Each structure stands twice: as C-alpha cells, then as structure tokens.
Chain A
Amino acid sequence: MNLLSNLISGLSLGSVYAIIALGYTMVYGISKMLNFAHGDVIMIGGYISFVMTVYLGMNGWVGLLIAIVTCTCLGVLIERLAYRPLRGTGSLAVLITAIGVSYFLQNVALLIWGANPKMFTSLFDGVKALRLAGGKLVVSPESLFTIAANIIVMIVLTLFVNKTKAGKAMRAVSEDNGAAQLMGINVNQSISLTFAIGSGLAAVAGVLMCSAYPVLTPTTGSMPGIKAFTAAVFGGIGSIPGAMIGGLILGIIEIFARAYVSTELADAIVFACLIIVLLVKPTGLLGKKVSEKV
C-alpha cells in the first residue's frame, strides 16, 4: 500500500516535471536553445492565477485561462525581444541571455509581489481526496488531475506536431532551418508558435504545481525548472514522448529515493541516474542520434 502511495506521489510530481519538460524540449527541438527562463514563466503563471483568484475573486479555472493567455503572450514577447535579435550569433550568447531573462523575471516578481510567500488556493479547493483500501491509500484530486492533464497534453501535442500543417512546419524548421526557409516556411512564425505553446503549458504547469504544493515565492519555478530540464535531457531533448517519460521517471526516482534510500541523498541520486543514463545513451532515452554529414 505504501509502495502504491509513493508511486502515485511520484507520478504526480513526475507529471509536473513532464509538462514543464515539454516546454524545454519543444523550444530546444526547434531553435536549439536552452530556454532557462522557462521555470520562471511557470512562476509568473502561478502569480497571475493567484492574483485573479485571490485578489479579484475569480473562479480558479478562469484564473487558469487568464494565466495561460498571459504566459503565452509573455513567452512570445521574450522570444521576440530577447532571443530573436541574437539568433545566429552562437548558442552561448543566447544561453547567457536566457539566464538573464530568468533573473529578470524573478526580480520583477520580487518587486511586484514581495518576498513573503503566498499560499495558492488549489484548483480543487474543497474537493475531497479519494480514499481507497479503508483510508490507507489517499489520492488527492490534484494528483489525479495532474496525471490526466499530462497524458492529454502529451497526446494533443503529438497529434498537433504530426498531423497539422503548423506542426509539420515546426518539424521542418527543427530538422533543417535553412532548407525549411527555402521551402517557403516562415521560420520566425514557427519559432514564435513554439514559444507560445511552451509558455502556455508553463502556465498550466504552474497552476497545477501550485495546487499540489501551494507555497508561491519568486523562486518557486527555478528548482522545478532545473529538474524538468534534467527530465528533458533524460528522455532525450527534442523528443516530445521523451520529455514525458523522462519527467515521470525522474519524479518516481525522486520520491522512491526519498522513501526507500535517504531523504538527505535524494537529489544526489536523481542526478546520479541522469549521469548514468547519459553515459550509456548520450542522446537520452528516446533521443535521436543525429549524424553529422560531411
């Protein structure tokens, strides 16, 4: 029973990582850049939703929608202002800019909302937890919904990328930027669209994460951001199913390491697993091996 309960915790945490990791992996896949500000977009999503529901008294789901819209705009704006001007200048410049954007967002949040933590009201406030096996196994509605949302998002995204025209364009840009442009694909538009989707997902992840773990501070997004980035690398960065599998495995390893090995060593174990996977399969679990053509 304990095992099952830990497994559910792991799946729930892993689903949060997976949704965040999708943002990393999509952006990396199409523009070959690591968007380290992604974790902080999650935090902004959390705060926007908090403001809508607690200050303005809106319904949690309306708050979620507004957070998605805001974060989508924010993501597109960040790409337009901070990353696009640097495209073609080498990956290091963009990487440093992304770290800069990350600190910028954290400090803006600090200025607006202050350092004192805010307690997020769960989307499922008042919904009773599921009690199975005579109350021994407690499954919170947050866990169930997070896991379900993860699966839905995964399926919709895979369909979108594989079946729609815009998705096809994104894949083309991801495979060969220059050739795609020659074929008449609007590369800028495709990249903007990727950022929009990734940031919208960040808002969903932010609200789900804060529903399960309600303490909201300006640095709320940074550690999950790093863990999700790890998950994306774990699963093979650039691969959508890889991000999901990586996220779930990472969440489960983390919870199991805490439950059965040691709470002191949990993070060390998570990252040790990452190193081992990368040693054995450098492209990650589902990563494609890209051979350089001469």
Chain B
Amino acid sequence: MKTKFTKFMAAALAAVMAFALAACGGGGSGEGGDAVLKIGSTGPLTGPAAIYGNAVKNGGQLAVDEINAANADGIQLSWQAEDDEHDPEKAVNAYNTLMDSGMQILVGPTTSAPAVAVAEKADADRVFTLTPSASQAAVTEGHDNVYQLCFNDPNQGTAAAQYILANMKDKKVGVIYQQNDYSQGIYEKFKAEYEGAGNKIVATEAFAKDDEKDFTAQLNSMKNAGADLVFVPIYYTPAANILTQADKMGYNPTFFGVDGMDGILTAENFDAKLAEGVMLLTPFVASAEDEATQKFVKAYVDAYGEEPNQFAADAYDCVYAIYNAFKETGLDASASTEEICDAMIKVFNGGFTSSGITGEEMKWNENGEVDKTPKACVIENGVYVQK
C-alpha cells in the first residue's frame, strides 16, 4: 500500500515539475536576439476538410522558413500546426495543446465553426489571433483581438461592388441571389455599396432552394431589364443551372460570382464553354503572372509537390502580416503573450498595412475585418485567369 502511494506521489510530482518547466518555456526562454516568436495554427489536417488545413499548415511553414532564412531583423519565428478535424471541440483541444507549448500568436483556425469556438478562448487568454480563412462574420464579432485575413462573407458583397465600380462602371447590373443567410448577406452589402455610389441595380431576383430547377423567369427579368452583368452571390450548384439556361435562351451577360462560385469547373461533365467569361472574386489564382505570386507558387511546388490553393496563400500572407506588424510593435520575442496581444491590436488598429499575394495594402478595422483591394479572375478556356 505504502509503496503504491509513494509511486503515485512521485509520478504526480514529476508531472507537476514537467508542467512548471513547460510554463517557464512559455514566457520565452532565451534573452535578447535569439528568442523565437512562437506562432501556432490549427486546422483540419485529417478528415474530409483536410485539404484546407494542410494548405494552411504548408503555406504558413513556407513563410516562416523564408523569414527565418532571410533573418533580416533578428526576429526568428517558429510554426506549429495542430489538427482540429474541422470540429469546434477538437479545435479548442488543439488550441490548448498550442498554449501548453508556449504559443504567442495564433494564425487560425482554418475553418469557421472551429474559429468561432477558439476565438472565445483566445479572447479570454488574450492571444492575438489572425485567421487566414475562417470567413463567417461571427468569427471576429465581439473580440478585439481576433482578425481575419480573408474577406468575411457579407463583405465579399462590398468588395464585389467596389471591383465592378472601379473596373466595369458602364455595365448595367442585375442580381440573382438565393434566400439563405450567405447569399442574402452578400447581396445586401453589395446593394448598399453599389447603390450608395449613385448607381442603380436594374433588376433583382431571388430563388429559394439549392436544387431549384427553372431560372428562366429570373433570367428573362434580367434580359428584359437589359442587364449585361449579372451578380450571382450563390453556390456553384444552382449557378450551373443558371449558366446552362442562359445559354439556351441566347442570353450571355457577364456573370460575376464570389467564393461560392469557386468549384464550378469541378462539377463532373460540366461543359467549361458555359462558364467562359464568368468572373469571380477570389483572392488568389495560382496562374496569376505577377512576380510575388509566381515566386510563391514555385517555392510551394518545390517544397510540397503540388500547386497551392487559396488557403495556402492566405496562411502565407498571415505570417508575413504578423511578422510586419510585430516589427512595428518594437517588442522582443521574449515578451509575454498578453503584451504581444495588446501591442499587436494597437498596430493593427493604427493604420498598419501589409501587402501580400492575396491583396495589396491590406488593412484592418476595429472589428477585425480586412480591407483590401479585391482581385477578380475570369474563366478563360476552362481555367482561371487573373484580371
């Protein structure tokens, strides 16, 4: 009996000591220049959404490696990505694991439902959080320390309106939206921005269900109103029906979609000719020809053997934004998580801008929403081409 008790005590003591050591490490072990800024990330590395989490993991790692190799300012970063399986509960566990290993800044979570759960924890623990790709508006709501690098869902509407106003001002614009929170939210923001600038949407139509079949009435309404650009903030399944029927009617305006439209080319047996000339707002296109994108794509392909997607680019930009902002705080990597959080919030709210491959001159408002110049691409010969 006695031996058992001592064994138990010894084990417990050992555990406490290990924990204490780990906690020490969290405060930053080294002094001065050789301290490492610990960035953590969570995302689905396994399961059906694994493609997103792994892209974030790899994209972030690539940026961290580049920054460390350049070693321009004596700031070294570390990158640790944990699996959350796109599950809010597991995401909180993954977050706790990261906190135990001394995370100072969180780049994540990758997907929205986990991000909403983790944002709550990160707010309580005062960890500065910049999510690459969790796009629901609820992710940043009510948290002064949580920021998004991607446009949130409704703000895609604002961005689309800005892009159309800047580049296609002469077009007569019609809208077909779906009656769900995603599409309706985008439509309302789009309308506010577009009509706020003194323009008029010539026709607005809606539909209710994902598996709605007949869109001829909506398309006739667009056609009769003379719309030559139709904004479709909807998912690609109904969009495929709309494109087919418009083609049959002999009506071919420019269709302009947002991220829900991404994927239209993956529908099996889809005739890419139907999507010819369709425009969509997407922050990143691997085939874009600008130098920064090409450099990133090449480095990514060399490192991981596959073409990066939007999520990888978002994470890459996140790490650079964190790095640039951290330089402005003037802090040392040995600073505590809370000090870093307060200083980063000040920088992010204080006119800080960061340029990357998903947007030039990105800046953030106090709600944590990003403001950047939207990029659009057009489908030509079955591939996305950056405009």
Contacts and interface: CB of A to CB of B under 8 A. Distances in A.
B213 A116 contact: no
Nearest to B204: A263
Interface string B201-225: 0000111111111101110110010
Contact of A5 (B207, B210, B220): B220
B218 A263 contact: yes
B248 A138 contact: yes
Nearest to A221: B211
Interface string A191-229: 000000000000000000100111101011011100000
B179 interface: yes
A120 interface: yes
Given A5-B220, A6-B220, A129-B248, A215 B266 contact: no
B269 A116 contact: no
A288 to B, nearest CB: 31
Contact of B213 (A54, A131, A209, A263): A209
A215 B238 contact: yes
Contacts of A131: 250
B241 interface: yes
Contacts of A13: 213-214
Nearest to B221: A259
A88 interface: no
Interface residues of A, number: 38
A213 B269 contact: no
A259 B269 contact: no
Nearest to A262: B206
Contact of A119 (B205, B208, B221, B269): B269
Interface in B171-210: 179, 205-210
Q: Which 10 A-B pairs have the closest CB atoms?
A: A258-B217, A213-B213, A259-B217, A263-B205, A9-B216, A118-B268, A119-B270, A119-B269, A264-B206, A263-B206
20 contacts: A5-B216, A6-B217, A13-B213, A54-B269, A117-B237, A117-B268, A118-B268, A119-B240, A209-B213, A213-B213, A214-B244, A215-B238, A215-B241, A217-B237, A220-B211, A255-B216, A255-B217, A259-B217, A263-B217, A266-B217
Interface of B: 179, 205-214, 216-218, 220-221, 224, 236-238, 240-241, 244-245, 248-250, 266-271
Given A13-B214, A212-B213, 13 more contacts: A117-B268, A118-B267, A119-B270, A129-B248, A138-B250, A215-B241, A219-B211, A222-B211, A224-B213, A264-B179, A264-B206, A264-B208, A266-B208
